[in-house]
Amino acid sequence: MKSNIKDFFIYLYYTLVLWFERKIKRKLKDQALLLRYADDFMLAFQYHRDAKAVYGSLLARLRRFNLPVAEEKTSKDSDL
């Protein structure tokens, strides 16, 4: 694996996974889950209100670290 790919995944881990586990989940009263596969991820929440509360923070977090959001792949669908 090329060094820049490894660096990206380490960067993603620190900017997304640790943030979600240490900051976001602790603030929620209900269950939440982050699933990752390569450079994609999905957040799942027990309640829609938690998803709505986290969405803005997530976008701000990704922008802060210049991580792009693919709008065509972004869904806030509660009917999955």
Contact 35, 41 (CB under 8 A): yes
Q: What pLDDT, on a 0 to 100 scale, did the predictor assign at position 41?
A: 87
Q: What pLDDT, on a 0 to 100 scale, did the predictor assign at position 77?
A: 67
| Mean predicted confidence (pLDDT) in 1-5 | 61
Whether 7 shows a pLDDT value over 90: the answer reads no
What digits encode the pLDDT tens for the residues 42-52?
A: 999 999 899 98
The pair of structure tokens assigned to 73 is 């792949």
pTM exceeding 0.85: no
Distance CA 1, CA 51 (A): 34
Cβ-based neighbours of 80, under 8 Å, separated by 6 or more = none
Q: What angle do CA 17, 20, 25 make, to 5 degrees?
A: 140
Q: What pLDDT, on a 0 to 100 scale, did the predictor assign at position 61?
A: 92
